[in-house]
Amino acid sequence: MRAYYFDNAPGDQRLPHDSGRAVSPSTLEAIGVLHWSIPIDESPAESHIRQINEVAQERQYRNRDVISVTKEGLGDAYESKIKMFYEEHMHEDEEIRYILKGSGFFDVREHPNDQWIRVHLSAGDLLVLPAGIYHRFTLDERNSVKTMRLFKDEPKWTALNRGPATDANPYRKTYLDSIRSARAVASSA
């Protein structure tokens, strides 16, 4: 994983858009974004699956599936799916992704300054986005990613695009309250 501030320059969303300003893991943690590096193990024992199972048990993820986002796999729907994933949105559940193959970018909004932080993920990266955080996803120039999605309950993916309704959403408000509380505790320590 590599994180940095998005440069906001025009151009293909699949390009790096690297501002040259790195973002530390502690900055990501401060906005509720969690990351594990669990290298893919192709041995018969598949230790990466054991490690994913441990994280899933600890965080109470009960379900999972695997999806591939490729032009070949999605056919005519490819471009529309890529555009849909890249719309700024939030979810009322955590978004958990473990990259099995390929790579891509998750952009997350830093609070309170509203800057985009770009997180480049590749095989072996596990990312957890908290419910209520504004984010978006795109492939990188390789145009291919295979991910395991983990869910606390039944698999679902409901994107709520940013707007006045999502700004007032109770999950968004809970997320913002948790960020403010964590900052207050950190500043009083």
Q: What is the pLDDT of residues 1-16, one digit of tens each?
A: 999 999 999 999 999 9
User: How far from chain centre, in Å, is Cα 155?
Assistant: 16
Q: Which residues are annotated as a binding site for Fe(2+)?
A: 89, 91, 95, 135
What pTM did the predictor assign?
0.93
Q: How many domains does one find in the chain?
A: 1
Q: Which residues are annotated as a binding site?
A: 89, 91, 95, 135
Q: Is 138 helix (H, G, I), strand (E, B) or coil?
A: strand
Question: What is the average pLDDT across 108-137?
Answer: 97
45 confidence band (pLDDT: 50, 70, 90): low
Question: What is the average pLDDT across 41-62?
Answer: 88
pLDDT above 90 for 62: yes
Helical (H) or strand (E) element with 179: helix 170-188
pLDDT for position 180: 92
What CATH number is attached to the domain comprising 72? Answer: 2.60.120.10
Q: Which residues are annotated as a binding site for Ni(2+)?
A: 89, 91, 95, 135
Give the mean pLDDT of the chain.
Answer: 94
Strand partners, 4: 22, 118
pLDDT above 90 for 44: no
Q: Residue 9: CA atoms inside 13 Å, Cβ hemisphere, count?
A: 11
pLDDT for position 155: 78
pLDDT for position 46: 82
CB 139 within 8 A of CB 46: no
Domain hosting residue 153, numbered range: 2-188
The answer, yes or no, to whether the previous bond of 130 is cis (omega within 30 of 0) is no
Tokens encoding 174: 């809970």
Rounded CA-CA distance 65/181 in Å is 33
What is the percent of the chain where pLDDT is above 70?
98
Rounded CA-CA distance 66/14 in Å is 22
